[in-house]
Chain A
Amino acid sequence: MTAALDWTAIIVFAALFSFVTLLGFFAARWRKGDLTQLNEWGLGGRRFGTVVTWFLLGGDLYTAYTFVAVPALMFGAGAVGFFAVPYTILVYPILFVVFPRLWSVSRKHGYVTAADFVRGRFGSGTLALAIAVTGIVATMPYIALQLVGIEVVIAGLGIHGEAPLIIAFVILAAYTYTSGLRAPAMIAVVKDLLIYITVIAAVIIIPAELGGYAKIFASVDPKNLLLATPVGKNLGAQSAYATLALGSALALFLYPHAVTGVLSSSSRHVIRRNAVALPAYSVALGLISLLGYMAVAAGVKSNPAFADGFKEFGANYAVPALFLQMFPSWFVGVAFAAIAIGALVPAAIMSIACANLFTRNIYREYLDPNCAPARESQVAKIASLVVKVGALFFIIALPTSYAIELQLLGGIWIIQTLPAVLLGLYTRWLNPWALLTGWAAGIATGTWMAAELNFAKSIYALHIFGWTVPCYAALSSLLLNIAVSVVLSALLNMVLRTRVDATVAEDYV
């Protein structure tokens, strides 16, 4: 047993953690609103300006798990892990063009979730239910994975057992309950500052100690440094890389927590300005991914002090090990706090987003159609607690690999809402039953492809005219979904003439 308790690091870590806890409770009073309204609790009153939205969405999308898992993938598999960079480049043109439309129509009609919009646009409660359930199911394992981020750094501090994790989550649940979206918005500012400080220190100090970037790249196995080139008629790693980036980019803003972040902004201009400003986080992510190579160069794997950590967490331990080896204790505390707090922000927003979906599209739609606004907000608060307890149970009771596999499936599932939500923002021509059939076809084929890969990977090789094209299962199943939706809509539109659209073209601009 080598990982002794590192008291300096623990004290710094605990101090920062306590500070954001106070901030979380204090947030209820910030830009005070009536928290008995879902609009206030679950969307912060739609009042966040450019700067707050920048911190909120940054804290929401660039999660602690990303900061642990992306360098871990680079550490273990090399260049393919860098797909996170093109992925986060391709997200922003979509955010810039499409999501101001969702913001405008939601503001006009008081929509709180993407499923609310689908309900209004296509007049189908069943389709809206499918969208809502997909959102909740895809997000749950994502919340669970944030806990892995906390777990890894707590173990890095030399603390064992599950008590710290449970304490952290109880605190998180309490201030999310009282303050709603205002809590993660405020904490996100601290989290992002800590992340930037850590990243800047890491990319300056560590390469200097390791002898420069050239040496770091030279220490990586040459066959991992670039993607394998196509052999014969198999496009191999290259098509996997491109489809993974594109599919992930298309899926990202369909996630409920991303929609919640978008809808909480105060105007469509805020969203567009953020599409220009948010890539600053992608730069940080790109640099963080290189920490995986720095961990290789620093030889953390062969350091006996980290053997237990690697045994328990695998490659996910690479970044904590690197920090422990290269940084002084007090700064390890800062860096680990950045990761742990970085897990709290998205976990809070995700649980709020799931709560909004449950309340609006399941509870009010099916269980209590005439519920008062205060009741609606109360249900959402309780739902957010249930979601978090579920995630905690997931991580403590089941192997971590389940959460990772389910999160991988979540990406395949959430993208199936694209035709109804994203295409729906541009046209009402699609028929709700056609969309529902397309959604089901996409979910079924996507899940089948993942099952064929034993839920370990999401790159399924397609065979097209004698070519082998490894493709992200989310993307190929989405194409089938769109094809089914369009063809069936064309057929159904010939028979059915009724259109139930609560929105008009002016609502979207």
Chain B
Amino acid sequence: MAEGGKARRRFRLVHLLLIVPYIAVLWVPYFNRAEPALAGVPFFYWYQMLWIVLGAALLWPIYWVEERGNKNANKNDGA
């Protein structure tokens, strides 16, 4: 690696996934409605509940890519 290469975590395209939940739950006009209801629960409620799970799920690929990237980068310096 170049000098000081460990000092910065590289920006990867997969990081763009981090923005997705912000758009999904801050664009209020999109989900501020009752239909389609799910088992009697209005859209407004189940949509946001669903995003709790999706938001967490989106972090997985980033974690995975970074951990793998670091392992490769650190292979030779015993870290």
B28–A242 CB distance below 8 A? yes
Interface residues of A in 454-509 (CB under 8 A from B): 504-506, 508-509
**What A residues does B41 contact at CB under 8 A?**
213-214, 217
Number of interface residues of A (CB under 8 A): 43
Residue contact A276 to B59, C-beta cutoff 8 Å: yes
CB pair B52–A90 under 8 Å, yes or no, is no
Our pick among B8, B18, B28, B55 for the contact of A509 (Cβ within 8 Å) is: B8
Stretch from A63-71, A80-88, A433-441 that touches the partner: A80-88
- B9 proximity list for chain A (CB < 8 A): 509
Are A79 and B7 also in contact (CB < 8 A) when A85-B49, A89-B51, A276-B60 are? no
Q: How far is it, in angstroms, between the C-alpha of A97 and the C-alpha of B15 when the chains are bound?
A: 9
Q: Are B28 and A85 in contact (CB under 8 A)?
A: no
- In the assembly, what is the distance between CA of A269 and CA of B59, in Å? 13
Task: Judge whether B32 and A229 touch: CB under 8 Å.
Answer: yes
When C-beta atoms are compared, the residue in chain B nearest to A100 turns out to be B9
Taking a contact as CB atoms closer than 8 A, the residue among A79, A86, A217, A279 that contacts B53 in the complex is: A279
Is B40 touching A213 in the complex (CB atoms < 8 A)?
yes
A200 CB-CB contact with B under 8 Å:
no
Contacts across chains A and B counted by CB atoms under 8 Å? 111
A contact residues around B52 at 8 Å (CB): 85, 88-89, 279, 282-283, 286
Whole-angstrom CA separation of A239 from B33 in the bound complex:
15
Q: State whether the Cβ of A400 lies closer than 8 Å to any Cβ in chain B.
A: no
- Whether A16 is near chain B, meaning CB under 8 Å from some CB there, is no
Taking CB atoms and an 8 Å cut-off, the chain A residues in 192-235 that contact chain B are 212-217, 225-227, 229
Contact with A along B7-47 (1 / 0, CB 8 A): 11100000100100110011111001110010111101100
B6 beta carbon closer than 8 Å to chain A: yes
**A56 close to B (CB within 8 Å):** no
Q: Does A275 contact B (CB under 8 A)?
A: yes
* Known contacts A85-B48, A214-B40, A279-B56; A238 and B29 CB within 8 A of each other: yes
Given A85-B49, A238-B28, A242-B28: A92 and B55 interface contact (C-beta under 8 Å): yes
* Cβ contact within 8 Å between B63 and A89: no
Closest to B38 in A: A213
**Contacts A245-B25, A275-B59; A82 near B44 (Cβ below 8 A):** yes
> Does B78 count as interface, using CB distance less than 8 angstroms?
no
Contacts of A239 in B (CB 8 A): 28
A82 and B48 in contact, given A93-B18, A226-B33, A245-B25 (Cβ under 8 angstroms): yes
Task: Kindly report which residue of chain A lies nearest to residue B19, judged by CB atoms.
Answer: A93
* Bound form: Cα–Cα A201–B55 in Å: 26
**Taking the nearest CB of chain A, how far is it from the CB of B21, in angstroms?**
6
| Contact across chains for B7 and A238 when beta carbons are under 8 A apart | no
**A241 at the A/B interface (Cβ < 8 Å)?**
yes
CA distance A283 to B62 in the complex (A): 22
- A327 interfacial contact with B, CB 8 Å: no
User: Which residues of chain A come closer than 8 Å to B21, judged between CB atoms?
Assistant: 89-90, 93
Q: Given A89-B25, A92-B55, A509-B9, is A286 in contact with B48 using a C-beta cutoff of 8 Å?
A: yes
Closest Cβ–Cβ distance, residue B55 to chain A (whole Å): 5
For residue A220, give the distance in angstroms from its CB to the closest CB of chain B.
10
Find the B residue at minimum CB distance from A286.
Answer: B49
Q: Hey, which chain A residues are within 8 Å of B42, CB to CB?
A: 217, 225-226
Q: Are B59 and A86 in contact (CB under 8 A)?
A: no
B48-A86 in contact (CB<8A): yes
On chain B, the residues within 8 Å of A213 by CB distance are 39-41
- Shortest distance in angstroms between A198's beta carbon and chain B's nearest beta carbon? 18
Cβ-neighbour of B59 out of A93, A282, A283, A504 (below 8 A)? A93
Given A96-B62, A286-B48, A279:B55 Cβ within 8 A: yes
B48 and A92 within 8 A (CB): no
Is A272 an interface position by the 8 A CB rule?
Answer: yes
Residues of chain A lying within 8 A (CB to CB) of residue B22 = 90, 93, 246
Minimum C-beta distance from B71 to chain A (A): 12
Residues of B near A85 (CB, < 8 A) are 25, 48-49, 52
Contacts of B25 in A (CB 8 A): 85-86, 89-90, 245
Does B8 lie within 8 Å of A505, measured CB to CB? yes
The smallest C-beta distance from B43 to any residue of chain A, in angstroms, reads: 9
Our pick among B26, B40, B56, B62 for the contact of A246 (Cβ within 8 Å) is: B26
Smallest Cβ distance from B19 to chain A, in angstroms? Answer: 8
A286 to B50, CA, bound (A): 10
C-alpha spacing A239/B29, complex, angstroms: 9
Q: Is A414 an interface residue (CB 8 A)?
A: no
A-B contact pairs, 27 of them (CB 8 A): A85-B25, A85-B52, A89-B51, A90-B22, A93-B55, A93-B59, A213-B41, A214-B39, A217-B42, A226-B32, A226-B33, A226-B42, A226-B44, A229-B29, A229-B32, A238-B28, A238-B29, A242-B26, A242-B28, A246-B22, A269-B67, A273-B63, A276-B59, A279-B52, A283-B53, A286-B48, A286-B49
The list of the 6 closest CB pairs from A to B, nearest first, reads: A214-B40, A505-B7, A86-B25, A279-B56, A213-B40, A238-B28
Residues of A within 8 A of B (CB): 79, 82, 85-86, 88-90, 92-93, 96-97, 212-217, 225-227, 229, 238-239, 241-242, 245-246, 269, 272-273, 275-277, 279, 282-283, 286, 290, 504-506, 508-509
